[in-house]
Amino acid sequence: MAIRLSNISLAEFRMFLRKIGCERIRTDGGHEIWSRKGLRRSITLQTHVDPIPERIVRQSLRNLEITREEFEQYLSRL
C-alpha cells in the first residue's frame, strides 16, 4: 500500500528524521533545521504547516538519498 506523501504529519516526519540519525540543530523563527553527518544540505521544516507539503517531503528524501519505498518502510515501523 503506497503512502501519500501529501499526508505526512510533522510529528511523523520528526520521528522519521530521528530514526535515521538526524537531529534538530536549531529553531529559527517558525522553522526547524535538521542535519546529520554526511548531508550536503540541512533539512528545513516549517513548524506551522501540518501536514508537511509533498514537495518538502520529496526534497528531503532526495537530500537524504532515501527512496520512496525505503521511506514507506521506515514509516511502517514507527
Domain CATH code at residue 48: 3.30.920.30
* Count of domains forming the chain: 1
With bands split at pLDDT 50, 70 and 90, how would you rate the model's confidence at 1?
A: low
What is the Cα 50 distance to its own chain's centre? 12
With bands split at pLDDT 50, 70 and 90, how would you rate the model's confidence at 5?
A: confident
Residue closest to 32 by CA, chosen among 14, 19, 20, 50: 14
Q: Cβ(55)–Cβ(39) under 8 Å?
A: no
Residues 17-63 pLDDT 10s: 999 999 999 999 999 999 999 999 999 999 999 999 999 999 999 99
Model's pTM, two decimal places?
Answer: 0.91
| Domain ranges, residue 53 | 5-77
